[in-house]
Structure 1
Amino acid sequence: MIGYVTIGVSDMEKAKKFYTDLLGDMGAKLLLDMGRIAFIGESMKSPMLAVCTPFDGTPNHPGNGNMLALQPGSKEAVNTYYQKAIELGATCDGEPGQRIPDQFYGAYVKDLDGNKLAFFHFG
């Protein structure tokens, strides 16, 4: 259903490195680089993350209430990806932990441009 999600960035090279380094263990790689927009994912037939500089030429800014949620497969993996994001320069926006007892475990970071990411596991 979802083809790709786009995140506005200020520095394409830094954003491509951040997301390919962060998501590489999930099988993601740079699939297509068109200059102001680049697609990262497992394949062009799977959901992708696109990083781009805004089309209108104005500075990017993270949306209030917008968030990209990634499901790495386990609570341990949530912890691992949270820590990896922090090591790559992201800032904490909610340390890993159980949010809803026995239902939702999550961690939250903001990327290099302030875009909010969640790593989560149900169960």
Structure 2
Amino acid sequence: MAAQLEHTNFTVTDPDRTAKWMCNLFDWHIRWTGDSRTTGYSVHVGTDTHYLALYAPKAGNLNAPIDNYTTQGGLNHIAVVVDDIAAMRARVEAAGFEAGEHFDYEPGQRFYFYDDDHIEYEVVQYD
């Protein structure tokens, strides 16, 4: 069996807030919440088989945002696959996020948006 990606763990300012909009937009659910590394707090949000671990360190330990595209090991974006990209774009905008440019090239269509933590998300629909 080939290895499968189970989860990704990244830092956000408010794991509960981020998990809430992810559940609303992507129809995911919260799998677990609790105390985490170095007195931090985590929320695991996703499906029964794959999830994102949203982590926040104890208060006051967040650094200023950096440009991850120029930082070795930085998070460039998180991609989700949907069946109806137009409907998801409308949902993203209704949630208060600004949907970016739409690209249509093999093997599908995509657009990008940033959340309140300046994390970029890619939404993809394969043809």
TM-score (structure 2 length as normaliser): 0.74
Task: Identify if the C-alpha distance between structure 1 residues 54 and 83 changes in structure 2 by more than 3 Å, giving closer, same or farther.
Answer: farther
What is residue 44 of structure 2 aligned with on the other side?
39
1:29 shift after superposition: 0.2
Counterparts in 2 of 1:39 and 1:64: CA distance versus 1, 3 Å: same
TM (norm. structure 1) is 0.76
Specify the SS of the correspondent of 1:10. coil
Task: Specify which structure has the bigger relative contact order, considering alpha-carbon pairs within 8 angstroms and separated by 6 or more residues.
Answer: 1
Q: Show structure 1 runs of 4+ deviating over 3 A.
A: 59-63
Unaligned runs of 5+ in 1: none
Write the letter of the residue equivalent to 2:44. Answer: F
Residue 79 (str. 1) matches residue 89 (str. 2): no
Q: Indicate the residue corresponding to 1:21 in structure 2.
A: 24
Q: 1:118 aligns with which of 109, 113, 122?
A: 122
The unaligned stretches of length 5 or more in structure 2 are 36-40, 70-75
Matched, 1:10 2:13: yes
* More off after superposition, 49-58 vs 63-72: 49-58
Distance 1:81 1:60 in 2: 30
Number of aligned residue pairs: give it: 112
Q: Secondary structure at the match of 1:119?
A: strand
